[in-house]
Chain A
Amino acid sequence: MLNERFYRSIYRIRRVEEEIARIYPTDKIKSPVHLSIGQEFVSVGVCEALNPQDVVFGTYRGHAMYLAKGGDLKKMIAELYGKATGCAAGVGGSMHLICREKGVMGTSAIVGTTIPVSVGYALGRKYMKSDVVTVSFFGDGAVDEGAFHESMNFAALKKLPVIFVCENNSYAIHSHHLSRHDSDNICERVRSYGITAARIEDGDIFAVHEFIKSKIGEIRGREGGPVFLECLTCRWKEHVGPNEDFDLGYRNREEVDCWMQRDPLRTLKSSLASGVRMAIESEIEAEIADAFRFAEESPFPDPKEAYRHLFKD
């Protein structure tokens, strides 16, 4: 049942991040966290349409993508705690999550850098005649970068099996996209490269999922070229950190309120029988408690581990 799957995944991500925000003031997590709260539906809608062997590349606001694709929760929390048991052994932190066995190929803190990398990955897969689909997640800020346009051009030129997912939350840190772009026309610009592009404005997770489902067959069969999906969304919390940021004055509460009112978590919740819902919630609460306990109890890395893995031997 799609409702149930969506609810489970969004609830899990939401609750994990709420727990991160709750713990954050204790300073146990010494890593800049860019919370996805409010934006989870994009990652969930997309990743629920993928196969386990499909691959995703993402950004520093990557908790939702990592979890939606099946990334290990315990290892993620341990990574935030800087523990040896983390998904990057305490080297990467919140902005550099990885879970290769689930197809999470790494998140990057430099805006736009994983876009050409995902295009290259798709090139490699096409060359190997593999049916793995590559998905590239990024925000509207990345659209400003040269690498974004270089990537669109090359992906279209080589007709690569890659899906671009732009999470447009309107802000690059605190700069509104209309202070950075002449027009609200990202899809139009992408189409000019020869790429099919669609925009979902109302936060409808079913529409996100349906769009990916409708395109993925031909991409997997290497018949279709790249596809671009822009999802309007809203970041409920501050750019980085666990708090709200209405005091800064760069956006007003109403902007966020209107997105909170259409929170897919709420509509999904009401669509489920209470028994089903409560079973999901209690299972996830137990998993989260377990993950934080695991992180707390895990050892810090040996200081000499700082020198490891500079090169592959």
Chain B
Amino acid sequence: MERILAYPEAIREALEQEMEKDPAVFIMGLGVDDPKRILGTTAGLLEKFGPARVFDTPLAEDGMTGVAVGAALAGLRPVHVHIRMDFVLLAMNQIVNMAAKSCHMYAGALSVPIVIRSIIGKSWGQGAQHSQSIYPLLMNIPGLKITAPSTPYDAKGCLIQSIRDDNPVIFIEHRMLYYQKGHVPADPYTVPFGKARLLSRGSDITLVGISQMAVECLRAQRCLLDAGIHAEVIDPVSLSPLDLDTIRSSAMKTGHLIVVDNAWMSCGAGAEIIARLVEDGCHRNLKVRRMGFAAVPCPTSPPLEREFYPDAGKIAVAAFEMLNPKRKWEPESTLPPEEVAFKGPF
């Protein structure tokens, strides 16, 4: 029987089960024990595990990341939470210079099992500093594992995998994914790094969607059926390491590939995926395209925001035009339900 959970419930369950299993796991971050409990993802954990294992922090992202690194060196498994990914920028020194490097720089004498959870914002005027996806910056750094699951099933499995991993993991959530519901087994399970998920089978074109763009790609795929186009949709799930094999075999089959990123495109995940496929000589006539944020900071006014983000309609049109270069097509456009449901403030 299907057991349906929403995305944040899947995250909460992963945390609770790992904290039960391993007393070394603890949660720190601004607001993890406050009345809102990080949109419910840490609900009940303070009551169950106590303030030594679930605690608030000062607004000191760099210092607190260093604290997490040190606690990990002492044998603990910290989960450090940032309710908005933009604030991870303040922790870049500790993430890049210490967490990512310690194992290699000291020839394996140290390892840093930390999880950095962060949530990407979108909609309702989050604006330039509350909407950023900085994982392309982090994908550039050796020594980090990066995962951005789009389904509740993967959210739980990836978070458990991240906590059990002996290395620093950047675990990326998306505010709009918090509306996703799906089957989540009750028992603990892991979803391995470096394995993409095929979300929908098709033979005409491959759509790779990262984080929330996986949802938009699935919507585009349904839209494209109206035009008789069968798109294959892939969610990489893990960005470092990347599962090129799954994407490659799909692209070999369809000969058409669009990578839709939930970030700016320059030096991004789309560039990386396509460059590696081309280097491999994947498909002689492979047609490729990247989609992502417009190359400006995110604006707040609704029409500007709609211009800024890729969405199902834009993805469907791009797919249609890649397959039919001389024809025009206008899919039916509807507002995504979560954007209708979301009334802010965060």
Contact = CB atoms under 8 A, between A and B. Distances in A.
A120 B103 contact: no
Given A98-B109, A100-B110, A113-B94, A310 B66 contact: no
B76 A311 contact: no
A25 interface: no
B140 to A, nearest CB: 14
B142 interface: yes
Interface residues of A, number: 43
A244 B192 CA distance: 55
B70 A122 contact: yes
Interface string B68-107: 1111111110100000000000000110011000111111
Contact of A151 (B63, B102, B166): B63
Interface stretch (B52-60, B154-162, B271-279, B309-317): B52-60
Interface string B167-185: 1000000000000000000
B187 to A, nearest CB: 25
B62 interface: yes
B338 to A, nearest CB: 35
Q: Which of A125, A128, A309, A313 has the most CB of B within 10 A?
A: A309
B268 interface: no
A106 B106 contact: yes
A100 B106 CA distance: 10
Contacts of A127: 26, 52, 71, 74, 76
Contacts of A310: 103-104, 142-143
A92 B89 CA distance: 26
B107 A92 contact: yes
B331 to A, nearest CB: 43
A122 B73 CA distance: 10
B165 to A, nearest CB: 8
A218 B103 CA distance: 33
Contacts of B97: 108, 110, 113
Contact of A118 (B62, B64, B70, B78): B70
A246 B10 CA distance: 63
Interface string B259-297: 000000000000000000000000000000000000000
B105 A96 contact: yes
A24 interface: no
Nearest to B108: A309
B150 interface: no
A188 B64 CA distance: 23
Given A121-B73, A124-B73, A113 B98 contact: yes
A88 interface: yes
B318 interface: no
B151 interface: no
Q: Which of A125, A310, A313 has the most CB of B within 10 A?
A: A310
A100 B103 CA distance: 13
Contacts of B78: 120
B45 to A, nearest CB: 16
Interface string A109-123: 010011111111111
B64 to A, nearest CB: 7
Given A92-B106, A106-B102, A310-B142, A117 B70 contact: yes
Contact of A147 (B63, B102, B106): B63
Given A116-B63, A150-B58, A150-B60, A98 B69 contact: no
Given A91-B105, A124-B71, A128-B75, A311 B167 contact: yes
B70 A146 contact: no
B110 A105 contact: yes
B74 A312 contact: no
A311 B103 contact: yes
Contacts of B108: 308-309, 312
A147 B103 contact: no
Given A147-B93, A150-B62, A120 B106 contact: no
B67 A157 contact: no
A153 interface: yes
Given A116-B64, A150-B62, A154-B57, A123 B105 contact: no
A153 B67 CA distance: 12
B299 to A, nearest CB: 30
A117 B98 contact: yes
Contacts of A308: 104, 107-108
Given A113-B66, A124-B71, 11 more contacts: A114-B98, A116-B67, A117-B66, A118-B70, A120-B72, A120-B74, A124-B74, A127-B26, A128-B76, A154-B64, A309-B108
Give me the 3 closest cross-chain CB pairs, A-B, nearest first: A120-B70, A116-B66, A124-B74
